[in-house]
């Protein structure tokens, strides 16, 4: 059986490894190398690095909808995608004898789209999961073949939840393929009326509005860390917030965004509902990521209580 794997970021690497260990993978399709960092160094995607380590041929189309014939020429019996980053054209979806499968990081039909892990945390969900589904022309709307649930801990951020989902997604995929080949799965149609969407994270979604509740701000910070990272402003300069805690209090005498505590243990800021956010790791403009103690010795040493962030 000829299997083509299509994926791009770290999330897809364990899936490729598991698939390669159980089934013959004829080729790997991933996004082109992209310039990264201030020096714009051309960098291959994680899936390309892993595919080359495994000795697998790599194809990197700029736009798969225009270059699908290079994949079709491989005559795939099955195509598996995991966070590939491009929508497959119908011409390609129609080719494999055993269809095209997608590994999606949510419990579909909830959180269709490109940022399901981020949005689940931002929304304060207590659980999410992995769905293996048939691919369809409509975004993430194909029939469901299997699902597994994963709890979202209070301390989870995008990085930790990403790793949990990636690890459970890999064996779920190979188990699903085995059952599919045996004819042991009845696909389930998604109920479109229950669908929600997780659009790609935009710059305006990264900015903290201190008028929001403490719980909303806490979920937004961990739902954007370690990438792309939430930010606010301090004295007119951007200030990234990498890690924070939610602190409940009975006091409600401070303005939203006001610094109410400042020490080497953290920068405590009042939220819109009077609850507080304790910033533990942050990054002032033009400086490296630092903990609260380093901030307190540097930029924080000239701040005073009552200073407001976000203005």
Which positions make up the binding site for (6S)-5,6,7,8-tetrahydrofolate? Answer: 106-109
Query: Of 201, 219, 214, which is closest to residue 268 (Cα–Cα)?
Result: 214
Binding residues: 106-109
Q: How far is CA 128 from CA 51, 109, 131, 139, 284, in A?
A: 28, 11, 10, 19, 33
Q: What is the DSSP string of the chain?
A: --EEEEE-SGGGHHHHHHHHHHS-EEEEE-PPPEEETTTTEEE--HHHHHHHHTT--EE--S-HHHHTHHHHTT--SEEEEES-SSPPPHHHHTS-TT-EEEEESS-TTTTBSS-HHHHHHHTT-SEEEEEEEE--SSTT-SPEEEEEEEE--TT--HHHHHHHHHHHHHHHHHHHHHHHHTT----B---GGG--B-PPP-HHHHB--TTS-HHHHHHHHHTTTTTT-EEEEETTEEEEEEEEEEE--S---S-TTBEEEEETTEEEEE-TTS-EEEEEEEEETTS--EEHHHHHHTGGGG--TT-BTT-
**What does the alpha-carbon distance between residue 95 and residue 138 come to, in Å, rounded to a whole number?**
17
């Amino acid at each position: 059986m000829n299997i083509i794997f299509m994926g791009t970021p770290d999330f897809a690497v364990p899936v490729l490894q598991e698939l390669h260990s159980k089934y013959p993978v004829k080729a790997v399709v991933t996004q082109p190398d992209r310039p990264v960092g201030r020096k714009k160094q051309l960098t291959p995607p994680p899936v390309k690095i892993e595919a080359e380590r495994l000795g697998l041929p790599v194809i990197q189309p700029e736009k798969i909808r225009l270059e699908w014939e290079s994949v079709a020429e491989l005559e795939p019996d099955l195509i598996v995608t995991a966070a590939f980053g491009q929508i497959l054209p119908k011409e390609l979806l129609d080719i494999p004898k055993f269809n095209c499968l997608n590994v999606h990081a949510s419990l579909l039909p909830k959180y269709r789209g490109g940022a399901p892990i981020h949005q689940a945390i931002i929304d304060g969900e207590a659980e999410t999961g992995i769905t293996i589904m048939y691919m369809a022309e409509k975004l993430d709307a194909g029939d469901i073949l299997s699902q597994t649930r994963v709890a979202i801990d209070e301390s989870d951020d995008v990085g930790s939840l990403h790793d949990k989902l990636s690890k459970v997604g890999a064996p779920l995929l190979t188990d699903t393929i085995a059952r599919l080949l045996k004819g042991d799965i009845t696909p389930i149609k998604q109920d479109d009326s229950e669908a929600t969407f997780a659009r790609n994270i935009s710059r305006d979604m990264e900015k903290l509005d201190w008028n929001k509740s403490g719980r909303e701000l806490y979920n937004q910070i961990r739902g954007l860390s370690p990438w792309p990272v939430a930010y606010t402003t301090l004295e007119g300069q951007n200030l990234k917030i990498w890690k924070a805690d939610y602190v409940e209090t009975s006091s409600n005498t401070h303005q939203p965004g006001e610094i109410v505590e400042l020490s080497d243990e953290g920068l405590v800021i009042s939220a819109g509902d009077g609850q507080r956010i304790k910033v533990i790791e942050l990054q002032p403009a033009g400086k490296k990521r630092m903990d609260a103690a380093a901030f307190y010795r540097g930029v924080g040493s000239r701040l005073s209580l009552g200073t407001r962030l976000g203005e």
